[in-house]
């Protein structure tokens, strides 16, 4: 792979003239090209089987409005040549995700998906939810569309197979069965209530069920239930009946369970008025493991083929593709995409656009979901746009705000103080932009809300001026909402004046008379407080924003407090991480007991080396 730019790049020309100069320097190699504006911001990333031919295509008129604007803004270009076009495709999608160019179709929601893990590093394997890299030893089943889908399935699997979900340390420390055993969700292996070989059979049954061989599992359970009933072991028969019901409930909740599709992602794309929704159904082991909707950034002149190809490339950039991708729309470079995904997966990946049969019925269902989801989103966006216009009118803003930041603090008598920032815009809450601030100020008086707010805003604007000094990346707010009255507003105004950002409107939202919902007062610098009518939709909107900020700040505070409760002096010892801390506490029972232990006892703890045992001993005994 080699990178190149024009050795004598144009200093003045832009648009067609600029691109023509670059086209003359290129050869017929495959690769990736980038178009940049006069400020070196990436406008577009594209791939090419033949760079010279592809770039030369931009020098001829007849493009869509979107591409014409992009060409007009192009002031320079960059190139990376690759050995193959497949390599170019993979590199293109990787760069798009990194650089987020203005004129590319962009997948904005790219979270990882959870799996079910049957851990295999213990005599009595644990079944649990897993997200992220598959580093633990065990059998993975997924992906599932959401944590909720995993939790529902795990809940029923616990009823059906009675497998433990407790951690290894909890398992080792039990002396009597926990509540899950009492409610028939676990077979009690921690206290020897089930033999190891029998427990392993249950694990195998769970794996068979998750692998799609559910009929055999249910038949075996039904046989056992009949035998128990004939032997008049009615309690055991009733337990087996409940386990069969649990498995049936898993299958019922999955809805569609196609017979002819073993492993596939069913991907339906629906586009309307320059917006798009992609619905993905995850089919594994002939079972539907849920669906998710995505809303890639497109434009009115983006074709379904272009949108689908861009989605596939970005979606599978960090995910393992299944054996089949069943699409609603054909893509232009299907052979290339198929080769790239097969190379990534290390096995064949097939791309299908079915016209009839069961696969076409699956696509019809995905398209119906995509159409309905996009209609709801567009309706919500229209409502949100109307509310933002109302906010602009209520607070005398020149234009509806595109980014509202709402701040709140949470603490208990000044302890574990945190600040929370939530963000809302034309598409609702922007949760990936939420931020938490651990209050650090040592000179703050406990419970000093003004001081806490000053610290939060100081850190916020310091970072903004560092990351986006020219306000070109969309990170700066159009409106600040502060939970509080005149005092908080005055404190925030001081910070804004200090950083020279007094042009950003800022409003304090105070509880008002009797601290009653609906009687909020709004405070602005240099103006009298005012209230909105009690039934004004804008008032309800502001209340929801404030409540969301309050929820986020309280949740962050509780997490910090819970972490502090679990803190011990062991956290301060270099080399003692979470695993070794757990080993010490499990062995001795408490941090106090660890502090009193002699060196020989510390060395006897599994996982604690002689050197670390000496460090722990010295920490508690050499304080001079």
User: What CATH number did the domain enclosing 581 receive?
Assistant: 1.10.150.20
Within a domain: 451: yes
- Look-up: residue for tokens 């019809």? 364
pLDDT of residue 369: 92
pLDDT of residue 317: 87
pLDDT of residue 259: 73
Within a domain: 199: yes
Return d(Cα 258, Cα 207) in angstroms, integer. Answer: 19
Return d(Cα 480, Cα 523) in angstroms, integer. Answer: 12
pLDDT of residue 121: 84
Task: Domain count for the chain, please give it.
Answer: 5
Return d(Cα 74, Cα 129) in angstroms, integer. Answer: 47
Whether residue 61 sits in one domain with residue 204:
no
Q: What is the per-residue pLDDT across 83-101, written as a single tens digit (0 to 9) for each?
A: 999 899 989 988 998 898 9
Phi, psi (deg, nearest 5) at residue 127: -110, 130
Cβ-based neighbours of 391, under 8 Å, separated by 6 or more: 397, 400, 401, 404, 479, 538, 541, 542
Phi, psi (deg, nearest 5) at residue 393: -70, -40
Within a domain: 104: no
pLDDT of residue 136: 86
Whether residue 124 sits in one domain with residue 93:
no
Whether residue 236 sits in one domain with residue 175:
yes
Pairing of strands 479-483, 506-510: parallel
Return d(Cα 395, Cα 406) in angstroms, integer. Answer: 15
DSSP 297: B
Residue burial 163-180, b: 16+ Cβ < 10 Å; e: rest: bbbbeeeebeeeeebbeb
Return d(Cα 75, Cα 14) in angstroms, integer. Answer: 5
Q: Which domain holds residue 41?
A: 2-99
Helix (H) or strand (E) holding 441: none
Within a domain: 385: no
Q: What is the per-residue pLDDT across 156-182, written as a single tens digit (0 to 9) for each?
A: 788 778 889 888 888 888 888 888 888
In this structure, how many other beta carbons lie within 10 angstroms of the beta carbon of residue 610? 9
Residue that is last in its domain, among 53, 70, 99 = 99
pLDDT of residue 497: 86
Whether residue 513 sits in one domain with residue 413:
yes
Within a domain: 258: no
pLDDT of residue 624: 43
Whether residue 555 sits in one domain with residue 420:
yes
323's tokens: 């054996």
Domain CATH code at residue 437: 3.30.420.340
Within a domain: 191: yes
Whether residue 313 sits in one domain with residue 412:
no
Cβ-based neighbours of 257, under 8 Å, separated by 6 or more: 251, 286, 287, 288
Phi, psi (deg, nearest 5) at residue 434: -60, 145
pLDDT of residue 73: 93
Whether residue 46 sits in one domain with residue 182:
no
Whether residue 271 sits in one domain with residue 248:
no
Domain CATH code at residue 55: 3.40.1440.10
Query: How many CA atoms are closer than 13 Å to the CA of 298, on its beta-carbon side?
Result: 25
611's tokens: 């050197």
Within a domain: 529: yes
Whether residue 552 sits in one domain with residue 417:
yes
**pLDDT < 50: residue spans in the chain:** 6-8, 10, 254, 414, 515, 624
Residue that is last in its domain, among 68, 99, 130 = 99
Whether residue 159 sits in one domain with residue 203:
yes
Whether residue 534 sits in one domain with residue 430:
yes
Whether residue 193 sits in one domain with residue 82:
no
In this structure, how many other beta carbons lie within 10 angstroms of the beta carbon of residue 613? 20
Instruction: For residue 507, list its beta bridge partners.
Output: 481
């Amino acid at each position: 792979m080699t990178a190149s730019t024009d050795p004598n790049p144009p200093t003045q020309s832009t648009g067609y003239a600029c691109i023509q100069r670059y086209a003359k320097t290129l050869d017929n190699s495959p690769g990736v090209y980038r178009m940049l504006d006069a400020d070196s911001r990436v406008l577009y990333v594209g791939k090419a089987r033949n760079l010279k031919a592809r770039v030369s295509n931009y020098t001829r008129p007849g493009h869509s409005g979107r591409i014409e604007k992009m060409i007009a803004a192009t002031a320079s270009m960059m190139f990376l040549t690759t050995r193959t076009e497949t390599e170019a495709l993979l590199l293109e999608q990787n760069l798009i995700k990194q650089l987020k160019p203005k004129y590319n179709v962009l997948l904005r929601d790219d979270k990882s998906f959870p799996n079910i893990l049957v851990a295999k590093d213990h005599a009595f394997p644990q079944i649990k939810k897993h997200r992220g890299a598959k580093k633990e030893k065990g059998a993975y089943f997924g992906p599932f569309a959401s944590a909720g889908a995993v939790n529902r399935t795990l809940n029923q699997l616990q009823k059906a197979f009675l497998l433990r979900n407790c951690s290894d340390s909890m398992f080792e420390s039990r002396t009597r069965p926990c509540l899950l055993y009492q409610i028939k969700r676990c077979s009690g292996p921690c206290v020897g209530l089930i033999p190891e070989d029998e427990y392993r059979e249950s694990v195998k049954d769970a794996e068979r069920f998750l692998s799609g061989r559910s009929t055999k599992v249910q038949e075996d359970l039904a046989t056992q239930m009949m035998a128990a009933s004939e032997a008049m072991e009615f309690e055991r028969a009733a337990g087996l009946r409940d386990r069969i019901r649990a498995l049936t409930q898993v299958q019922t909740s999955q809805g569609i369970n196609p017979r002819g599709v073993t492993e596939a992602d069913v991907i339906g794309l629906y586009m309307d008025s320059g917006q798009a929704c992609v619905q993905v159904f995850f089919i594994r082991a002939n079972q539907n493991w849920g669906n998710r909707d995505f809303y890639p950034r497109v434009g009115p002149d983006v074709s379904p083929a272009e949108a689908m190809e861009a989605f596939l490339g970005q979606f599978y950039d960090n995910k393992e593709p299944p054996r089949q991708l069943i699409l609603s729309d054909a893509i232009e470079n299907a052979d290339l995409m198929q080769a790239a995904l097969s190379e990534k997966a290390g096995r064949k990946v097939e791309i299908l656009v079915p016209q009839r049969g069961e696969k076409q019925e699956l696509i019809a269902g995905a398209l119906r979901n995509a159409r309905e989801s996009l209609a709801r989103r567009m309706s919500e966006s229209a409502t949100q746009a109307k509310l933002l216009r109302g906010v602009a009118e209520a607070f005398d803003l020149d234009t509806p705000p595109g980014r509202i930041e709402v701040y709140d603090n949470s603490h208990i008598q000044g302890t574990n103080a945190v600040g929370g920032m939530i963000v809302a815009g034309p598409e609702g809450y922007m949760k990936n932009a939420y931020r938490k601030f651990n209050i650090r100020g040592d000179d703050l008086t406990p419970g000093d809300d003004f001081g806490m707010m000053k610290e939060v805003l100081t850190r916020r604007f310091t970072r903004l001026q560092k990351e986006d000094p020219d306000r070109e990346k969309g990170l700066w707010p159009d409106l600040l909402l502060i939970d509080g009255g005149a005092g908080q507003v005055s404190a925030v105004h001081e910070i804004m004046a200090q950083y020279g950002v007094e042009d950003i409107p800022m409003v304090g939202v105070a509880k008002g008379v009797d601290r009653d919902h609906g009687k909020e007062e709004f405070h602005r610098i240099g103006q009298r407080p005012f209230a909105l009518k009690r039934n004004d939709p804008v008032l309800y909107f502001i209340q929801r924003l404030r409540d969301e900020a309050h929820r986020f700040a309280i949740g962050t505070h509780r997490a910090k407090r819970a972490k502090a409760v679990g803190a011990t002096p062991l956290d301060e010892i270099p080399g003692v991480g979470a695993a070794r801390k757990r080993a010490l506490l499990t062995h001795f029972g408490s941090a106090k007991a660890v502090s009193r232990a002699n060196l020989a006892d510390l060395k006897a703890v599994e996982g604690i080396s002689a050197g670390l045992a000496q460090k722990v001993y010295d920490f508690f005994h050499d304080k001079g």
